[in-house]
Structure 1
């Protein structure tokens, strides 16, 4: 970073990150950032991941886990960390990088024919029993043009009495989870944005947002103490894990979609994010989640993270209501 501005440092990056810097931080004309976005499919990270797709439409031969996953081995015992190479994670990554769905034409149909969930061998686009998995499936399916109507109904039916969701509902949990609620909210927001239907999931989305906002994005409602260290840990990729930055990114996207001002109950969480910024304007990677990946896309633990710096700066710009400047 020595002798380099934050802007130059961020722009000197893979197209998957660069186009978002151009759009969200620099406010460049749409033709400029769209041209950079189109490059994601043909060079760098995006091209590498697209090239790893199997002929049957999958990645690593599986829905959520790779085909060679050893259910009795270290990964299954969480010693090596969950693998992040299978179809759901690869699709999610490509979607979040901004790859045009047309590049994956035919993938939705191939997955409908060839991909089954590891849980009960259920059909891929029908989802399964995990809120976080179903949310990723909803967002990915909307992107690729699959029929996800059943998953939308599933979310409406599985909301907890306190307004959120919990992946452990099938094990008897009756209280919502930060992780599950945030992931569900992302899927419901994508449903609104893609379909234009602002009524079907609106009340459910509002109740989930209220669950997080009532807790200031990271506190227990009962004690007002932080729910756990992970809530304030800033790391990227987010994947399914909760953090105040992950939540703030959701509320920024929802606020822009709704044309709404930031909720003041987020103030303390926003200041936690701001306090993590170094004097040079960067944010440090707390540590990547363990588990096999196709390739690394961000800094190692303890190093400045371009992805965290992009996302945190965008959140602060939205919260502060002013144009980004160094």
Structure 2
């Protein structure tokens, strides 16, 4: 208990992006207590730093998915970059920039007017070809108030026979991937929460959730063994990557939204999460994706992480408040 209290105090004494979510999701404070802290994201800390990187055209690094002028050679030398508009929007959503502010509306308008996807010059809020990218675009667009209904309709028709999604579908894949499925599920969840739910959306989310639950969030259905060592490593920022903590945090958010209790099939993943807790009550990050970033919001691989600790504690708070069914 003492270590948990110390970890929560560490989170509260942090960037507004962390502090407001700690107050809401772990301490259970009322909106009038956490909302003023959320409003600080625009003017203080990581949120303000990232907003300051916007160009005169309202974009980040001059591009939608890639920075302007970024080449294949640079990708091979540096790794995938994370500084263009798509990932900046996802970061701001994770920080909790209040979408109702003037800057939130300005982001939607200027990105819609000026950003085109690198894939085939598609308008940003109409999406491009890959399910991973489109899932995140739906999540970001729904959060900030853009019309992403066209992308949603496309995603609903792109489920694999086993219930999830895969960015390799266009190349002939007929099996879902953990990575693509979590990106799409998060997008559909945000869309339902901000634009209204429907039977079709619920059915799609249930099928994607079943894909993950049947595998206990990390196992191969065929052997019961971990699908990969990578998804058992806590990754932050998540970018397009799936890991078990990201999966658990999705089910927490979905459970809060729907008022449902944890599924019993989450138990192995919850046990894994508890096993990763450090003696001081915090969690560390195992992987920071390689590549250009505007700045880092964690101390690095192997170090105690406020993001990992926030997500882990709110998952466990939800799981312990609502016993599994």
- Structure 1 runs (4+) greater than 4 angstroms displaced: none
Q: Is the 8 A contact 2:143 2:191 kept in 1?
A: no
Counterpart for residue 286 of structure 1: 286
Q: TM-score, normalised by structure 2?
A: 0.94
Counterpart for residue 262 of structure 1: 262
Counterpart for residue 174 of structure 1: 174
Q: Is the 8 A contact 2:6 2:281 kept in 1?
A: no
Alpha-carbon distance between aligned partners in 1 of 2:15 and 2:7, rounded to the nearest angstrom: 15
Question: Structure 2, unaligned stretches of length 5 or more?
Answer: none
Give how far 1:197 is off: 2.2
Q: Which secondary structure does the structure 2 equivalent of 1:284 belong to?
A: coil
Counterpart for residue 58 of structure 1: 59
The count of corresponding residues between Structure 1 and Structure 2 is 318
Q: Which stretch has the larger CA shift, 144-153 or 216-225?
A: 144-153
Alpha-carbon distance between aligned partners in 1 of 2:84 and 2:302, rounded to the nearest angstrom: 28
Question: Structure 1, unaligned stretches of length 5 or more?
Answer: none
Alpha-carbon distance between aligned partners in 2 of 1:104 and 1:7, rounded to the nearest angstrom: 29
Q: Which secondary structure does the structure 1 equivalent of 2:270 belong to?
A: helix
Alpha-carbon distance between aligned partners in 1 of 2:19 and 2:321, rounded to the nearest angstrom: 22
Give how far 1:27 is off: 1.9
Q: Is the 8 A contact 1:299 1:306 kept in 2?
A: no
Give how far 1:164 is off: 0.5
Give how far 1:45 is off: 0.6
Please list, as runs of the form range in 1=range in 2, the aligned pairs for 1:285-304 lying within 5 A after superposition: 285-304=285-304
Alpha-carbon distance between aligned partners in 1 of 2:106 and 2:6, rounded to the nearest angstrom: 42
Q: Is the 8 A contact 2:64 2:84 kept in 1?
A: yes
Q: TM-score, normalised by structure 1?
A: 0.94
Counterpart for residue 121 of structure 1: 121
Counterpart for residue 161 of structure 1: 161
Please list, as runs of the form range in 1=range in 2, the aligned pairs for 1:55-204 lying within 5 A after superposition: 55-71=56-72, 73-75=73-75, 77=76, 79-101=77-99, 102=101, 103-204=103-204
Deviations 1:200-251 (A, max 9, x none): 3111110000000001100000111100011110121111111110000000
Counterpart for residue 12 of structure 2: 11
Give how far 1:192 is off: 0.8
Give how far 1:122 is off: 1.3
Give how far 1:315 is off: 0.6
Counterpart for residue 44 of structure 1: 45
Q: Which stretch has the larger CA shift, 48-57 or 220-229?
A: 48-57
